[in-house]
Amino acid sequence: MIIINAKINTLDENQMNAEAVAIKGNMITAVGSGKDVLKFKGVKTVIINANGKSVIPGLFDSHLHVIRAGRFYNAELRWDGVRTLKRALEMLREQAQRTPQGQWVRVVGGWNEYQFEEKRLPTIEEINDATGNVPAFILYLYGKAWINKAGLMALNISSKTPNPVQGLFVKDDNGDPTGLLVAEPNAYILYSTLSKLPELTIAEKINSTLQYMTELNRLGVTSVMDAGGGFQNFPDDYTITDSLNSLGKITVRLPYFLFAQKKGTELQDYTKWLGMVEMDQQKGNNINGIEYRVEGGGENLVADAADFEDFLFPRPEFVPGMENNMKSIIRLLVKKRWPFRIHATYNESITRDLNVIEEVNKEIPLNGLIWIIDHAETITIENLQRIKSLGGAVSIQHRMAFQGESFIHRYGRDGALAAPPVKAIMELGIPVGLGTDGTRVATYNPWVSLYWITTGKTVGGNQVMAKENTIDRITALKLFTVGSYSLIREDDTKGKIKEGYSADLDILSDDYLSIPDEQIKSITSLLTIVDGKVVWGDGDFSSLAPAKLPVIPDWSPVKYYGGYQIK
């Protein structure tokens, strides 16, 4: 395959720009001028004319919950990118009318009120009016969720229903539930309630996972580091992606981490998984070179160290003794040479996490083991220096694009000006990758993340990060490609359009480097190539791509709305 007449941003420091690229098998074999690259043309070479479009390396989301999201994608109505509350409620009403008995309408993250022109949340009255007798669940960040009247009846939530230990059913003056669920001190009430909703069939989950991966491909994503997730049990909930991988049907590179599920049994979980997975002996599918493997443990290692970034409420304090529980797990992982990652929003949490890692390192040296701090919105220079000395890395996401206003309301503007301090991380030479943390809080759209980190603005257009703390577009693109690969030390073979590198690249709908800021959020890929194969095509490139898979079930919101709403 040879792509010509392209505006290629290679991200190769020795050759930043080119107009043609040749691919043989799953590798890039030549990059340069059209004249030079066409010398590699053979009898069976496919020539693709990019017509002057921008070409970039495929995007690598370093923190996304794709395995879990894939299982539920076809059942979810996505408000990601919807510009008015009026339209969001219309979609809710339309979907309620087509949802069959026994199923729910569900909106599960990826939006907030500031993206709407109305700048407000829906009311429970509006939700009830739109959905009628069809049960509905609407998740808002990590903070709260609404269940309509029909949903309360379906779940038998009444005035007599006690609050769970970790959450609150809001009740009115008569003691009846209003339909509002509040997550305090963590999101357990939201996730546990969501887990009670009916699931899709196996065939529908397979279709759903393929549809979600195609949606990622549509946005230019070619690789994902899956960070596990609550109610994502290994190995049972991995059978869908396991089967797709065995058939060579996965269309994103997919290293994944195993997330401890139950408070108090985390060490047993990891001990069991270490006995099930030989890290160095995981094999491919003998069909393609797309990685699908266990990468390590996390992002939850121990429940006592969870500091969910629900900025609607004060920062959670870790319980005494958290360190002992975490230390036993990290010691086990380091001994067995398993990489690990830790969800850590607040500097106070990171301090205690690092104390544990430093203690383990004294007993069993990390000695170059891959480990990652995820999120790190309020981390200090002191703790960044500790991460550097221990050989760690940082994965950041655009959660402040969705929660920046809430952060300011609680902690003030000054704390948001460099949250997270991406420039300081880079200046210290710490490996750093960019991602989204989709789908239940922020959107999975990588271009929203690139918009946020280059402008400092939220999805509502509010300036939260100081402009002097933002980064330029090329640097941001590097963090979403070669930077993410640096987290797992594969940046010497992936993340650039360079001879000898893996053939993952996108032909974009718009020139990322030159379009106005607000248009960045609407970029899509016209042609996405993963491992040397075309996995997505649109417009003039549609004929080069596999035929689109019909969406099942027939009532699926994805069939009628797709995923992220570009227009």
What's the pTM? Answer: 0.97
- The region, left, alpha or beta by phi > 0 then psi within -120 to 50, assigned to residue 179 is left
d(CA 111, CA 275): 40
Q: What is the pLDDT of residue 313?
A: 78
Q: What is the pLDDT of residue 515?
A: 98
Q: What is the pLDDT of residue 127?
A: 98
Q: CA geometry: angle at 221 spanning 218 and 226, to 5°?
A: 125
| Alpha-carbon 85 to chain mean position | 24
d(CA 335, CA 482): 29
The first and second tokens of residue 507, run together, are: 């032909």
**Nearest residue to 26 via CA among 500, 526, 483, 492:** 500
Q: What is the pLDDT of residue 371?
A: 98
**Nearest residue to 245 via CA among 503, 437, 524, 531:** 531
What string of pLDDT tens digits covers the 567 residues of the chain?
A: 999 999 999 999 999 999 999 999 999 999 999 999 999 999 999 999 999 999 999 999 999 999 999 999 999 999 999 999 999 999 999 999 999 999 999 999 999 999 999 999 999 999 999 999 999 999 999 889 999 999 999 999 999 999 887 789 999 999 999 999 998 777 888 988 999 999 999 999 999 999 999 999 999 999 999 999 888 999 999 999 999 999 999 999 999 999 999 899 999 999 999 999 999 889 899 999 999 999 999 999 999 998 877 788 788 888 888 999 999 999 999 999 999 999 999 999 999 999 999 999 999 999 999 999 999 999 999 999 999 999 999 999 999 999 999 999 999 999 999 999 999 999 999 999 999 999 988 999 999 999 999 999 999 999 999 999 999 999 999 999 999 999 999 999 999 999 999 999 999 999 999 999 999 999 999 999 999 999 999 999 999 999 999 999 999 999 999 999 987
Q: What is the pLDDT of residue 567?
A: 74
| Full strand arrangement of the beta sheet holding 2-4 | 27-32, 20-24, 2-4, 47-49
Q: What is the pLDDT of residue 314?
A: 82
Burial 178-190 (b: 16+ CB within 10 A, else e): ebbbbbbbbbbbb
The first and second tokens of residue 422, run together, are: 């991406």
Q: What is the pLDDT of residue 497?
A: 98
- Report the amino acid identity of residue 236: D
Contacts with 331 (C-beta within 8 Å, 6 or more apart), sequence order? 360, 363, 364
Sign (positive or negative) of CA dihedral 345, 336, 276, 485? positive
**Nearest residue to 438 via CA among 108, 184, 144, 204:** 108
Q: What is the pLDDT of residue 552?
A: 98
- The region, left, alpha or beta by phi > 0 then psi within -120 to 50, assigned to residue 565 is beta
| Full strand arrangement of the beta sheet holding 105-108 | 105-108, 136-140, 144-147, 177-182, 168-171
The first and second tokens of residue 37, run together, are: 């690259």
